[in-house]
Chain A
């Protein structure tokens, strides 16, 4: 009799997260929990200025403080050829500044001391003489004639342009616009935000002179990429580098790049031959590590009177800060921005993108978004609403009319992506039904008569999750596949390792469920381990919602390899030929005599104790998985709001989320991902931004200025699902980790804009703080850009 898959914690089981056993007991093992014998502590001195020449650095007072072991400056790094390091986007970044500082918070010097207090005091004792330079804080200033040149360190860099890039069909798009009845336009800014994991970045470098081996415990979402980068920067051979990423307190993309602190701690450990711990403080994390977004987008849509979209044109000016250290696939300079409008059937599209250097922190990481798709989908859904309004069409009907239809898959988007599956109209219908669309429209009209402002916002999108395939996706030339290694012990228990790295996603729980699904081994019998480059198979790590699409597929594939070998063992045990053996969950049996069977555990035992002649002993294998395509989940998010016309405060009335991420491995974890994503979406729409004043001072360097939403103001979410299995993924799953963060913000913003419909206000840039909404409503004009930092009335 076949096993009950739910009972063994297989696919579809809302199995409790096994990692929570240690987390809720305070027994997690984070980098800062690790204490090595003889360990020293490193602190970083950061630049107070956004752009300044370094005239001199006097470290004598720091050296004089008892307990100080080493003071490092850019000059010292330069003497070891380590003052600059390569970024993940083929640029260079200063490890410690030599010539000048290029953003507030940049690393200028490091102190290594017996404890962190001494190191901090010694940092304050370092005297740096700066000569301030003119500051560039946004792309417009960066492009202005005569703008200060930020990257004068680079040969042949004569302006602040990082890249000019384009994609799509320019001529075809022009033709589409020539045929348009209506052209709808929109311009907006997606503000700079920060992934802001609760655990900041940090490392413990431990160089052992006796073995020449460097071990680094590090907060990284991609240990193998880091190993490759460290090998390059530190000129150490790869087999002498071990990167260990222990429990991570969140990542959200922030822990993908290589940071100067990691490199400095490594050099310090090599020089001092002692372990060196560096734990960034919260301010350091917020002002210097990979941010998200900060893109100015404008575009237009060619429309036929009947509502058909004929073409789309987009342009982006993106602010990359002082160093281009985004973590995007090499080929795509502005990430997957051109995934915009993928769920709509649009004949022609063209995108131009310009990246700019500014005097701001570097590292446009994909904050819970698959390489800039957050900006793409936000623009898409704001544009779609504006177009529907311009045409005087119902926003839901306009979407339905232009959706790629179920029977049209596979569908090639105007920008060249291949989408393969989905039921877009069905998802929209489920959402409209759940929110009570028609009733709400009536309520809204009635409320309006009494001076109350109600609004409804829709956001529908499909996004490309799970890079690669290796044809198109690489980081620093390393192709974006992933891996899994499964070792089944004699008892039928197992250990699974993958090249991914959980930072809260629950891999220890869900990977075991995939193995349970494929092999019938109860999930509780499977240990999952990740993050140690000495033991894990090579993989590209966890970000861009790629774990389930890529590493998760590898888990299924390695399980199938194990099953294939187990079949041979079963045939041997049952004394029949392999062709006569049938499989049901957890058990092989003789086709002609179903009662005669052996369990997977019997096979595991035989692999070590009773293998047939000629069969290699053991039951272990590894699978590398290079996906044929990205996965394309679909989501429909709908929010209703009420705006207070006297204060501009808007309250969320209801939120409905319909997600189609294909087959769900652990529905509870999927729902958790969606709720977390919607919370972040609400935060970005309503309160979050990191801005800079004219001098380049960062506003948003702590949690009083950079607001994280709490349970108090976050609205409730009603979740629904539609399941369209991914046609090419071994278990039919699609990515889900980022959908709600990506698609959510437009639902909230569209809802507020809908409430203000008829006032002439076309756009309010995020965050929709009450004062901005009030100002738009009362002055009847758009509110653009970041909130002002300080202006006198």
Chain B
């Protein structure tokens, strides 16, 4: 690999990293897992003047769950940490379903969830998962910290809301108000391929009713799609074959796919619809099993 010339910095603290970003004036890039940045540098699509490697900053690789169920994912928490986490299996079915299908095992060993959100690739899986979950990105800059909802964090393809001297230091999944359920399904041509289409569904139920729902769509638009109408149609009612089919239709309508070598636009809509039905049918089964 022969990238263009760049300076390499390895800060030991978040403050130092922020100072370097500030000094870089928009020409510096954070290196966390490097699974998207490095291939882009190899192709010379990305030619940052400075690489700020945050891997030597201690204390950023955490995955914790508060007593109320709030999940915190640090900037250096790897996909494989999430995949192997019994905490996720117990607390967060949508994330637990997504973690093992992120890219391939080699990428999962290095890549990070927060880095994936920042990369804002419309084909990135975690963005739709975090949208479905109503997740939050915590950014830190020279003026302190701020929280950005995952639904607002992605501005467009490969564009996020961070200022040039801000670092996304953690992602948060808020505590559920009901029993969390859901799933993530992705169609890919091969393990490690970008999604032809992916669907994240997160619901919370209480006494047989859906009290919160989120649906995020991967790879079927210029950026990750928050299928709010589809999700809202489920809230306040029990899941039935009819309500599931209706939500699936709304999700397919929310998709804005383009025809390409992964499939036609109408095919991708069909996949979105099928996956919403399959995930929610699975939710019904698991609710029935629990009862």
Q: Does A646 reach chain B (CB closer than 8 Å)?
A: yes
The 5 closest A-B pairs by CB, nearest first: A771-B263, A712-B191, A793-B265, A120-B2, A771-B267
Q: A792: which of B2, B259, B261, B270 is its contact (CB, 8 Å)?
A: B259
CB distance from A117 to the nearest CB of B (A): 5
What chain B residues lie within 8 Å of A687 (beta carbons)?
189-190
Interface-centre pick from B191, B258, B261, B262 (highest chain A CB count, 10 A): B261
Q: Does B194 reach chain A (CB closer than 8 Å)?
A: yes
CA distance A704 to B107 in the complex (A): 13
CA distance A121 to B3 in the complex (A): 9
Given A121-B4, A771-B196, verify A707-B189 contact (CB < 8 Å): yes
8 A-B contact pairs sorted by A residue (CB < 8 Å): A116-B2, A281-B1, A702-B43, A708-B190, A713-B190, A770-B187, A771-B262, A790-B258
Q: Report whether B263 and A770 are in contact in the complex, using a CB–CB cutoff of 8 Å.
A: yes
Q: Closest A residue to B4 by CB, please name it.
A: A121
Contacts of A751-777 to chain B: CB distance below 8 A: 769-771, 774-775
Q: Report whether B258 and A793 are in contact in the complex, using a CB–CB cutoff of 8 Å.
A: yes
What chain B residues lie within 8 Å of A702 (beta carbons)?
43
Interface-centre pick from A647, A686, A707, A789 (highest chain B CB count, 10 A): A647
Contact with B along A108-139 (1 / 0, CB 8 A): 00000000110011001000000000000000
Q: Does A86 reach chain B (CB closer than 8 Å)?
A: no
What chain A residues lie within 8 Å of B66 (beta carbons)?
none
CA distance A648 to B274 in the complex (A): 11
CA distance A769 to B268 in the complex (A): 13
CA distance A511 to B162 in the complex (A): 62
What chain B residues lie within 8 Å of A12 (beta carbons)?
none
Besides the known contacts A649-B187, A687-B190, A790-B259, 8 further A-B residue pairs in the complex with CB atoms under 8 A apart: A116-B2, A704-B194, A707-B190, A710-B191, A713-B191, A770-B189, A770-B196, A791-B260
Q: Closest A residue to B1 by CB, please name it.
A: A281
Q: Closest B residue to A793 by CB, please name it.
A: B265
What chain A residues lie within 8 Å of B270 (beta carbons)?
646-647, 774
CA distance A120 to B4 in the complex (A): 9
Contact with A along B194-215 (1 / 0, CB 8 A): 1010000000000000000000
Q: A699: which of B187, B261, B263 is its contact (CB, 8 Å)?
A: B261
Q: Report whether A710 and B259 are in contact in the complex, using a CB–CB cutoff of 8 Å.
A: no
Q: Report whether B190 and A646 are in contact in the complex, using a CB–CB cutoff of 8 Å.
A: no
Q: Does B16 reach chain A (CB closer than 8 Å)?
A: no
CA distance A710 to B105 in the complex (A): 11
The B contact surface, by secondary structure, is loop
What chain A residues lie within 8 Å of B191 (beta carbons)?
710, 712-713
Interface-centre pick from B5, B196, B267 (highest chain A CB count, 10 A): B267
Number of interface residues of A (CB under 8 A): 37
Q: Does B266 reach chain A (CB closer than 8 Å)?
A: yes
CB distance from B66 to the nearest CB of A (A): 35
CA distance A702 to B267 in the complex (A): 25
* Size bracket, chain B contacts: 20 to 34
Q: A707: which of B43, B193, B258, B266 is its contact (CB, 8 Å)?
A: B193
CB distance from A54 to the nearest CB of B (A): 23
What chain A residues lie within 8 Å of B192 (beta carbons)?
710
Q: Does A788 reach chain B (CB closer than 8 Å)?
A: yes
Q: Does B271 reach chain A (CB closer than 8 Å)?
A: yes
What chain A residues lie within 8 Å of B187 (beta carbons)?
647, 649, 770
CA distance A251 to B76 in the complex (A): 39
CA distance A687 to B263 in the complex (A): 12
Q: Report whether B261 and A774 are in contact in the complex, using a CB–CB cutoff of 8 Å.
A: no
Contacts of B157-203 to chain A: CB distance below 8 A: 187, 189-194, 196
CB distance from B258 to the nearest CB of A (A): 7
Q: A788: which of B43, B190, B259 is its contact (CB, 8 Å)?
A: B259
Q: Closest A residue to B258 by CB, please name it.
A: A792
What chain A residues lie within 8 Å of B4 (beta carbons)?
121
CB distance from B264 to the nearest CB of A (A): 6
Q: Report whether B274 and A788 are in contact in the complex, using a CB–CB cutoff of 8 Å.
A: no
CA distance A645 to B267 in the complex (A): 12
What chain B residues lie within 8 Å of A121 (beta carbons)?
4-5
What chain A residues lie within 8 Å of B43 (beta carbons)?
283, 702
What chain B residues lie within 8 Å of A775 (beta carbons)?
264, 267
Q: Does B27 reach chain A (CB closer than 8 Å)?
A: no
Q: Does A787 reach chain B (CB closer than 8 Å)?
A: yes
Contact with A along B246-272 (1 / 0, CB 8 A): 000000000000111111111100110
Q: A793: which of B196, B266, B271 is its contact (CB, 8 Å)?
A: B266
CB distance from B209 to the nearest CB of A (A): 28
Q: Does A200 reach chain B (CB closer than 8 Å)?
A: no
What chain B residues lie within 8 Å of A699 (beta carbons)?
261
Q: Closest A residue to B268 by CB, please name it.
A: A771
What chain B residues lie within 8 Å of A691 (beta carbons)?
261
What chain B residues lie within 8 Å of A707 (beta carbons)?
189-190, 193
Q: Report whether B274 and A646 are in contact in the complex, using a CB–CB cutoff of 8 Å.
A: yes
Given A116-B2, A647-B274, A710-B104, verify A769-B263 contact (CB < 8 Å): yes
CA distance A702 to B44 in the complex (A): 14
CA distance A295 to B2 in the complex (A): 35
CB distance from A783 to the nearest CB of B (A): 11
Q: Does A347 reach chain B (CB closer than 8 Å)?
A: no
What chain B residues lie within 8 Å of A789 (beta carbons)?
260-261
Q: Closest B residue to A701 by CB, please name it.
A: B43
Contacts of B1-20 to chain A: CB distance below 8 A: 1-2, 4-5
What chain B residues lie within 8 Å of A120 (beta carbons)?
2
CA distance A1 to B97 in the complex (A): 64
CB distance from A113 to the nearest CB of B (A): 11
CA distance A770 to B271 in the complex (A): 10
CA distance A704 to B261 in the complex (A): 12
CA distance A189 to B189 in the complex (A): 20
What chain B residues lie within 8 Å of A770 (beta carbons)?
187, 189, 196, 263
CA distance A708 to B192 in the complex (A): 10
CB distance from B80 to the nearest CB of A (A): 15
What chain A residues lie within 8 Å of B259 (beta carbons)?
788, 790-793
CA distance A127 to B10 in the complex (A): 36
